Amino acid sequence: MLSTQEALDAVLAAARPLDRHETVDTLAANARVLSADVVATLDVPPMDTSAMDGYAVRIADLRDGETVLPVSQRIPAGHSPEPLASGTAARIFTGAPVPAGADAVVMQEQCEARDDGAVVVRHTPVAGEFVNRQGADIRRDSVVLAAGTRLRAPALGLAASVGIARLQVARRVRVAVFFTGDELTMPGEPLRQGSIYNSNRFVLRSLLENLGCEMTDYGIVPDNLAATRAILRDAARGNDLIITSGGVSVGEEDHVKPAVEAEGRLNLWQIALKPGKPLAYGEVRRANGDGGADTAHFIGLPGNPVSSFVTFLLFVRPFILRLQGVTDVAPRRIAMRADFTQKKADRRNEFLRARVNDQGGLDAFPNQSSAVLTSTVWGDGLIDNPPGHRIEAGQTVAFLPFSDLLY
């Protein structure tokens, strides 16, 4: 069996970025991946602005202690000021342009407005105090977002802040999914004897939606080789990636592995991983109209709910991100203290569901079975525990937070 890292390296080596792009409104670009740099069209802020509600002044007009100055103008945000007359102050508000001639802003708490229209200034500022200088955040013509950036709320706001109304992004990854097992039943249907509800369909669809994929859901496929091969052929025609859940083990009713081998090839199968040993990667032939053939990627996930969930996060998520053009797809690993003891080491690389406790350490879910989906809701992330390693309370472990992996 391959190690987790060997398998991941092999899978990612096959994930070449898609070569087609499109331009979309910035408002509609959430979860997309940039395929071209975003370059600032202006300085941010575009002029010197006030960081406080207060008074714009010339420092040369102030003396230590108190200075009384007439207020020559009022400057709300969005208004264009006149140059500041010598010997006067300007009432100014947060975000408003600082008038020419002013070299500082004194916050209103250090001033007192008088009934005669003057202001008493009780503070002598240093040059530039409470002034946001033009271009302090962003300089015109600088790259503010690099190609390969995954667009989320802060990045979209940043693009908008430099006036970008449309963005060039990688096209959405087209993914086909289906689920094998005659025992599977959809919620809302009667649960037959020996059946289970298909939770994996809901988990995988949600994860794919969060990654911005275009999805074709073939639902539950009967447990037979002919049906599985037919779905694979159909799915390969219009999709970049085919994902299955279940049927990749070695049982007599596990038809996905032989079906992929008949319709394409398996490049790797079985990983020294817990949960998720039966993970498979391969390719399914796709016939083209000109008589040639290329392939759709195939990733077969285990059928057990936690195994399917964990292997999606560890393998499918970075694979899809790489297809979209993201370069750094490695999950964030945080060194944290284990507040539990795992008495038995496993020969495989084990990923334990864990939760951050009030003391800043990690607790492990008591039942780490691959069928216990409760652990994924209870937990805050996964502990990456190397093969053959026992965890003692107080040890430092590598923690992969769900907050990074689920979106």
CATH of the domain at 80: 2.170.190.11
The verdict on 198 and 311 lying in the same domain is: yes
Task: Report the CATH number that the domain containing residue 349 is assigned in CATH.
Answer: 2.40.340.10
For the segment 301-312, what is each residue's pLDDT rounded down to a tens digit?
A: 999 999 999 999
Task: Report the CATH number that the domain containing residue 10 is assigned in CATH.
Answer: 3.40.980.10
Residue 101 makes CB contacts below 8 A (sequence gap 6+) with 58, 83, 84, 85, 86
Q: Could you tell me if residue 346 is inside a domain?
A: yes
Determine how many CB atoms are found less than 10 A away from the CB of residue 113.
Answer: 13
Q: Give the C-alpha distances (Å, rounded to integers) separating 3 from 10, 68, 282, 304, 399.
A: 11, 75, 17, 20, 19
The verdict on 40 and 162 lying in the same domain is: yes
- Please give the distance of CA 117 from its chain centroid, rounded to a whole number: 53
Q: Given a cut of 90, is residue 357 above it in pLDDT?
A: yes
Residue 407 or 349, more confident:
349
Residue 402's pLDDT is what?
98
Q: Given a cut of 70, is residue 112 above it in pLDDT?
A: yes
Q: Could you tell me if residue 308 is inside a domain?
A: yes
The verdict on 279 and 377 lying in the same domain is: no
Residue 322 CA to residue 319 CA, distance in Å, equals 5
Look up the pTM and report it: 0.88
- Tell me what the mean pLDDT of segment 319-334 comes to: 96
Q: Give the C-alpha distances (Å, rounded to integers) separating 354 from 176, 210, 331, 382, 397.
A: 31, 22, 16, 6, 11
For the segment 56-75, what is each residue's pLDDT rounded down to a tens digit?
A: 999 999 988 899 999 999 99
Looking at every residue in the chain, the average pLDDT score rounds to 94
Phi, psi of 321 (to 5 degrees): -60, -40
Share of the chain above pLDDT 70, in %: 97
Whether the CB-CB separation of 141 and 40 falls below 8 Å is answered with yes
Structural domain containing residue 339: 334-406
Q: Given a cut of 90, is residue 284 above it in pLDDT?
A: yes
The partner residues of 204 in beta bridges, in order of sequence, read none
**Pick from 268, 294, 324: which residue ends a domain?**
324
The verdict on 316 and 341 lying in the same domain is: no
Q: Give the C-alpha distances (Å, rounded to integers) separating 394 from 140, 245, 268.
A: 50, 37, 37
Whether the CB-CB separation of 24 and 32 falls below 8 Å is answered with yes
pLDDT-derived band at 290, boundaries 50, 70, 90:
very low
Q: How far apart are the first and last CA of the chain?
A: 30
**Pick from 112, 132, 152: which residue ends a domain?**
132
| Pick from 147-151, 289-293, 320-324: least confident | 289-293
How many structural domains does the chain have? 4
The verdict on 312 and 340 lying in the same domain is: no
Q: Give the C-alpha distances (Å, rounded to integers) separating 397 from 91, 187, 315, 362, 369.
A: 56, 38, 21, 9, 20
pLDDT-derived band at 226, boundaries 50, 70, 90:
very high
Q: Could you tell me if residue 301 is inside a domain?
A: yes
Whether the CB-CB separation of 207 and 319 falls below 8 Å is answered with no
The verdict on 301 and 202 lying in the same domain is: yes
Residue 107 CA to residue 130 CA, distance in Å, equals 8
Query: Where do runs of H (alpha helix) occur along 264-340?
Result: 305-311, 317-323
Q: Given a cut of 80, is residue 287 above it in pLDDT?
A: no
The verdict on 317 and 351 lying in the same domain is: no
Residue 226 makes CB contacts below 8 A (sequence gap 6+) with none
For the segment 62-111, what is each residue's pLDDT rounded down to a tens digit?
A: 988 899 999 999 999 999 999 999 999 999 999 999 999 999 999 999 99
Q: Could you tell me if residue 345 is inside a domain?
A: yes
Q: Given a cut of 60, is residue 176 above it in pLDDT?
A: yes
The verdict on 165 and 177 lying in the same domain is: no
Share of the chain above pLDDT 90, in %: 90
For the segment 116-128, what is each residue's pLDDT rounded down to a tens digit?
A: 999 999 999 999 9
Q: Given a cut of 90, is residue 52 above it in pLDDT?
A: yes
Residue 49 CA to residue 80 CA, distance in Å, equals 11
Helix (H, G, I), strand (E, B) or coil at 293: strand
Q: Could you tell me if residue 349 is inside a domain?
A: yes
Task: Report the CATH number that the domain containing residue 162 is assigned in CATH.
Answer: 3.90.105.10
For the segment 370-379, what is each residue's pLDDT rounded down to a tens digit?
A: 999 999 999 9
The verdict on 318 and 179 lying in the same domain is: yes
**Pick from 298, 324, 350: which residue ends a domain?**
324
Q: Given a cut of 70, is residue 292 above it in pLDDT?
A: no
Q: Could you tell me if residue 329 is inside a domain?
A: no
- Tell me what the mean pLDDT of segment 365-390 comes to: 97
Q: Given a cut of 70, is residue 213 above it in pLDDT?
A: yes
Nearest to 224 by CA among 192, 187, 262: 262
Residue 98's pLDDT is what?
98
* Bond from prior residue into 45 cis (ω within 30 degrees of 0): yes
The verdict on 116 and 163 lying in the same domain is: no
Task: Please report how the helices 225-238 and 256-263 are oriented relative to each other, as an axis angle in degrees rounded to 10.
Answer: 50
Residue 364's pLDDT is what?
98
Whether the CB-CB separation of 289 and 238 falls below 8 Å is answered with no
Tokens standing for residue 136: 């302090």
pLDDT-derived band at 255, boundaries 50, 70, 90:
confident
Q: Degrees (nearest 5) of the Cα angle 359, 363, 368? A: 170
The verdict on 401 and 301 lying in the same domain is: no
The verdict on 345 and 381 lying in the same domain is: yes
Q: Given a cut of 50, is residue 291 above it in pLDDT?
A: no
